[in-house]
Structure 1
Amino acid sequence: MRIALTGEALIDFTASEAGTLAFLGHEGGSPLNTAVACARLGQPTGFLTQLSTDLFGERLMGFLERNGVDTSFILRSNAPSTLAFVERTPQTNRYAFYTRGSADATWAPEPLPQLPAECRFLHFGSISLLQDPAATRIADLIAANAGRCVIVFDPNVRPSLIADMATYRTRASSWFAMADLVKLSDEDAELLAPGKPVEALAADCLAAGARAVIVTRGGDGATLWRTGHEALTVAAPRVKVVDTIGAGDTFTAGLSVSLLAHGVERPEQLNALGDEAWKEVMRFAATAAALNCTREGADPPTLEAVHAALAQEDNGAVASRF
Structure 2
Amino acid sequence: MSFLVIGECVADIVRDPGAADVVHPGGSPANVAYGLARLGRDTTLLTQLADDPSGRLIAGHLTGAGVRLAVGGVPARTPSAVVSLDARGHASYAFDIAWTLTAGEPPATPEPVRHVHLGSLAAVTEPGAATVLALTGRLRPTATVSYDPNVRPALMGGHATAVERVERCVALADLVKASDEDLAWLYPGEAPEAVAARWLGLGPAVVLVTRGGSGSLAVTRDHTVAAGAPAATVVDTVGAGDSFMSAVLDALAGRDRAGLAALGPDDLARVLARAAAAAAVTVSRSGARPPDREELDAALGGAGRPPRPPPPGGGGGWGGGRAGGVEL
Tell me whether 1:183 sits opposite 2:177 in the alignment: yes
Distance, in Å, in 2 between the alignment partners of 1:244 and 1:131 is 24
Instruction: Tell me if the contact between 2:229 and 2:276 (Cα under 8 Å) persists in the aligned partners.
Output: yes
1:283 to partner: Cα distance? 0.8
CA drift at 1:234: 1.4
* 34-43 or 76-85, which deviates more: 76-85
* Paired amino acid for 1:290: A
Whole-Å separation in 2 of the counterparts to 1:313 and 1:112: 41
2:78 counterpart of 1:84: no
The CA distance in 2 between the partners of 1:131 and 1:26, in whole Å, is 23
Question: How many angstroms apart in 2 are the aligned matches of 1:148 and 1:14?
Answer: 39
**Cα RMSD, aligned residues only:** 1.9
Deviations along 1:235-267, whole A, 9 cap, x unmatched? 21111111110000000000010112xx41x22
Kept in 1, the 8 Å contact 2:47–2:71? The answer is yes
Match of 2:301 among 294, 311, 314: 311
Match for residue 5 of structure 1? 5
Q: TM-score of the superposition, structure 2-length normalised?
A: 0.87
- Cα deviation for residue 313 of structure 1 reads 7.1
Question: AA paired with 1:211?
Answer: A
Distance 1:83 1:271 in 2: 38
Identify the residue that residue 317 of structure 1 maps to in structure 2.
none
SS in 2 for 1:42: coil
Query: Quick one: which of 38, 41, 49 aligns to 1:40?
Result: 38
Secondary structure of the structure 2 residue equivalent to 1:51 = coil
In 2, the alpha carbon distance for the partners of 1:250 and 1:78 equals 26
- In 1, are the aligned partners of 2:16 and 2:85 still within 8 Å (CA)? no
SS of the counterpart of 1:85?
Answer: strand
Name the aligned partner's letter for residue 132 of structure 1.
E
| 1:302 corresponds to | 292
Q: CA deviation at 1:76?
A: 5.5
The correspondence for 1:250, drawn from 207, 227, 243, is 243
Judged with a 3 Å threshold, the aligned counterparts in structure 2 of structure 1 residues 109 and 118 are, in CA distance, closer, same or farther, namely closer
Using the TM superposition, name which of 276-285 and 112-121 deviates more. 112-121
The partner residue of 2:273 within 275, 283, 301 is 283
The 5-angstrom pairing of residues 209-220 of structure 1 reads 209-220=203-214
Evaluate the alpha carbon distance shift between residue 108 and residue 150 of structure 1 in structure 2; reply closer, same or farther with a 3 A threshold. Answer: same
Give the number of equivalent residue pairs: 303
- Residues in 2 aligned to 1:233 and 1:78: alpha-carbon distance in whole angstroms: 42
Other structure's SS at 1:170 match = helix
Matched, 1:126 2:120: yes
| Cα separation, 2, equivalents of 1:211 and 1:81 | 35
Per-residue CA deviations over 1:34-80 (Å, capped at 9, x if unaligned) read 11111111211111112111221111111111111112x23452521
Mapping of residues 141-156 of structure 1, within 5 Å: 141-156=135-150
* Distance in 1 of aligned mates of 2:213 and 2:279: 10
By how many angstroms is 1:23 displaced? 2.0
Contact (CA 8 Å) 2:73, 2:102: kept in 1 or not? no
Partner Cα distance (2:75, 2:125) in 1: 18
The structure 1 residue matched to 2:252, chosen from 252, 255, 259, is 259
| In 2, Cα distance between equivalents of 1:200 and 1:75 | 37
2:277·2:296 contact (CA, 8 Å) conserved in 1? yes
Whether the aligned pair in 2 keeps the contact of 1:95 and 1:160 (CA below 8 Å) is no
State the secondary structure of the residue aligned to 2:130: helix
130 and 206 in structure 1: CA distance in 2 versus 1, 3 angstrom threshold? closer
- In structure 1, the residue corresponding to 2:145 is in which secondary structure? strand
Q: Distance in 2 between matches of 1:149 and 1:143?
A: 10
- Contact 1:151/1:267, CA 8 A, preserved across alignment: no
Contact 2:16–2:86 (Cα < 8 Å) also in 1: no
What's the counterpart of residue 311 of structure 2? none
**Secondary structure, counterpart of 2:257 in structure 1:** coil
Aligned residue number for residue 165 of structure 1: 159
- Corresponding letter in the other structure for 1:269: G
Question: What residue identity is the alignment partner of 1:166?
Answer: A
Structure 2: segments with no counterpart, 5+ residues: 305-328
Q: Within 2, Cα distance between the matches of 1:155 and 1:3? A: 18
1:235 to 225, 228, 250: 228
Unmatched tracts of structure 1, length 5 or more = 315-322
How far did 1:274 drift? 2.4
Report the TM-score when normalising by structure 1: 0.89
The answer to whether the Cα contact below 8 Å between 1:148 and 1:267 also exists between their aligned partners in 2 is no
